[in-house]
Amino acid sequence: MKTITLNVKGTSQSQWSTFILELNLMKKAWKRYGVGVELKTPSVNKIISQGTNIGYKQAKPKKTKPHHMLSIFGK
């Protein structure tokens, strides 16, 4: 295991949240290559869950058109 320590100074709260979310995206992208990344910081799970939430309006299922074959052959 290799360890890297990042000391981030001078960031606002929104910049910090964005920074954590970008690191999480990198973590997900590298996972498919067999690289396991662990993020350790206070409230990391809360930041990621709120930052990756799609919201209520976008979470509604899309209405789909009936399949054209159903109108010809029924069920």
Instruction: Return the axis-axis angle of helices 44-51 and 13-31, rounded to nearest 10°.
Output: 80
pLDDT the model gives residue 54: 72
Q: What is the CA radius of gyration of the chain?
A: 21
Is 57 within 8 Å of 27 (Cβ atoms)? no
Q: pLDDT class for 45, splitting at 50, 70, 90? A: confident
Q: pLDDT class for 52, splitting at 50, 70, 90? A: confident
The continuous run of DSSP H or E covering 64 comes out as: none
For residue 21, the number of C-alpha atoms closer than 13 Å in the C-beta half-sphere is: 14
Give residue-wise pLDDT tens across range 15-37: 999 999 999 999 999 999 999 99
Q: Which of 4-8, 27-31, 56-60 has the lowest mean pLDDT?
A: 56-60
Single pTM value for the model: 0.66
- Residue bearing the bigger pLDDT, 68 or 12: 12
